[in-house]
Amino acid sequence: MSFQNTLAYAQEQDQADTLRHFREQFHIPQHNGKDTVYLCGNSLGLQPKSARVAVEEEMVKWAELGVEGHFVGDTPWFTYHAALAGPTARVVGAKPQEVVVMNQLTVNLHLMLVSFYRPQGKRFKILTEAGAFPSDQYALESQVKFHGYAPEEAIIEVAPRAGEHTLRTEDIVQIIQQHGEELALVMMGGVNYYTGQVFDMAAITQAAHAVGALCGFDLAHAAGNVTLRLHDWDVDFAVWCTYKYLNSGPGGTSGVFVHERYAEDASLPRFAGWWGHDQSVRFQMKKGFIPMPGAEGWQLSNSQILPMAVHKASLQLFDEAGMNNLRAKSEKLTGYLEFLIKELNQPKEALEVITPEDPSARGCQLSLLVHQNGRQLFETLMANGFILDWREPNVIRVAPTPLYNTFEDVYRFGQFLAAHFQK
């Protein structure tokens, strides 16, 4: 792809972008009366204008109908989650029966670990990526302790080779093979939150299964960002939040994938609640848990309608745009960002992109390792209407998203960096 470092070029790309009208469907935060350059959808996606309408609809329904809202209207609260299964399945490459929306991410990770981390005899270890998101580390540590193991013994971390920032699939596979019969579970991010690296989930799942282990992914940074084919990749389970690339609001609801081979498997241990109980007899309020088939059988509580209404509105935009179209634009947008950073011509000692160069090994985010005064650069950017995020010790994460970012956003960011490094 031949990019150009000019405003005219960026604006031409925006004109030619068939997804450009989606930006108007979002509220763009303002800075001095102008749109910010919002490159932080990896942390909190922007608000779709339709979200407020969707929440208001439910508020009106609650006001007018009270408890009756559970059973009337287009989307009765009783089965509200079911309306999200189709669009969710399309985002993560699953069958509708394999997904459910409920709770929040870390809660769901624990629920999945209850069912899919079942250490036995010498098969008790979990393999994960070094430097995983802290909540995932805490979840894994507390789960292995819950089963009576020491985290130092039970958790194996795969780290980058010396002098490298990202993991090699061959290393992950080799360590899986090395631990073989001791491995109960492989559980890692689909996209590493810090480096933006996309892991080869198909290869990792295959390697885990080959040694008799199960395999699950935290897709917090993957869902709505990269192409996922969870069913075809044969992944056992996955979890994700909806407030990052899925634009469903702070602390929003979360998604879960359970492969269909477990749909009717009543032998799996699980922590049960009434909303996972067979819907047709749920209100008989009887003893004896009978799980709903599929992922729905992991639900505990009745649906959180307000965050789910936001999510439903947001997923509608993903359906309208299509994940394939979004991904195609995303590769180009991030490619443009990478081009502009290379144009800065900075030595590696000053500025380094630690995200993989191969587009298939990254999503929209590039992580910039700023060796000197990174924090200061970050703060200057923020003070000038560029919204990004900072990760200790010295990384600025930049995430242009295809739904609401423009080539001009990326160009303006490049211009700002150019001025900064020329000083």
Ligand X SMILES: *Cc1c(COP(=O)(O)O)cnc(C)c1O
Query: Minimum distance between the CB of residue 303 and ligand X, rounded to whole angstroms?
Result: 17
Report whether 387 contacts 37 (CB < 8 A): yes
Q: Which is nearer to ligand X, 300 or 418 (CB)?
A: 300
Residue 135 interacts with ligand X (CB under 6 A)? yes
Query: Minimum distance between the CB of residue 220 and ligand X, rounded to whole angstroms?
Result: 3
By CB atoms closer than 10 A (0-12, 13-18, 19+), residue 363 is buried
Q: Which is nearer to ligand X, 131 or 335 (CB)?
A: 131
Whole-angstrom distance, CA of residue 120 vs CA of residue 183 = 10
Residue 407 interacts with ligand X (CB under 6 A)? no
Three-class secondary structure of residue 359 per DSSP: helix
Contacts of 374-381 with CB under 8 Å at 24 or more apart are 377/420, 380/420, 381/416
Q: Which two tokens stand for residue 151?
A: 């985290």
Residue 197 interacts with ligand X (CB under 6 A)? no
Q: Which two tokens stand for residue 208?
A: 């885990």
Q: Which is nearer to ligand X, 25 or 128 (CB)?
A: 128
Q: Which is nearer to ligand X, 106 or 303 (CB)?
A: 106
Whole-angstrom distance, CA of residue 172 vs CA of residue 186 = 10
Query: Minimum distance between the CB of residue 271 and ligand X, rounded to whole angstroms?
Result: 17
Query: Minimum distance between the CB of residue 49 and ligand X, rounded to whole angstroms?
Result: 24
Q: Which is nearer to ligand X, 109 or 337 (CB)?
A: 109
Query: Minimum distance between the CB of residue 296 and ligand X, rounded to whole angstroms?
Result: 21
Residues numbered 49-88 forming contacts with ligand X, rule: CB under 6 A: none
Whole-angstrom distance, CA of residue 125 vs CA of residue 179 = 8
Q: Which is nearer to ligand X, 135 or 227 (CB)?
A: 135
DSSP string, 130-178: TT--HHHHHHHHHHHHHTT--HHHHEEEE-PPTT-SS--HHHHHHHHHH
Whole-angstrom distance, CA of residue 290 vs CA of residue 312 = 28
Q: Which is nearer to ligand X, 135 or 415 (CB)?
A: 135
Counting residues that bind ligand X (by CB under 6 A) gives: 12
Query: Minimum distance between the CB of residue 241 and ligand X, rounded to whole angstroms?
Result: 4
Q: Which is nearer to ligand X, 5 or 135 (CB)?
A: 135
Residue 241 interacts with ligand X (CB under 6 A)? yes
Query: Minimum distance between the CB of residue 143 and ligand X, rounded to whole angstroms?
Result: 14
Q: Which is nearer to ligand X, 135 or 279 (CB)?
A: 135
Q: Which two tokens stand for residue 268?
A: 């799996």
Q: Which stretch binds ligand X (CB under 6 A): 56-64, 204-212, 218-226, 289-297?
A: 218-226
Q: Which is nearer to ligand X, 196 or 402 (CB)?
A: 196
Whole-angstrom distance, CA of residue 146 vs CA of residue 86 = 35
Binding mask 136-175 for ligand X (x = CB under 6 A): x---------------------------------------
Q: Which stretch binds ligand X (CB under 6 A): 8-16, 215-223, 320-328, 397-405?
A: 215-223
Tell me the CB-side half-sphere exposure of residue 222, using CA atoms within 13 A: 25
Buried b vs exposed e over 254-267: b needs ≥16 C-beta within 10 Å?
A: bbbbbbeebbeeee
One residue of 193, 237, 336, 407 binding ligand X per CB under 6 A: 193
Whole-angstrom distance, CA of residue 245 vs CA of residue 43 = 8
Residue 133 interacts with ligand X (CB under 6 A)? yes
Residue 189 interacts with ligand X (CB under 6 A)? yes
Report whether 213 contacts 10 (CB < 8 A): no
Residue 104 interacts with ligand X (CB under 6 A)? yes
Element (H, E) at 351: strand 351-353
Binding mask 81-100 for ligand X (x = CB under 6 A): --------------------
Query: Binding residues for ligand X, per CB under 6 A?
Result: 104-106, 133, 135-136, 189, 193, 218, 220-221, 241
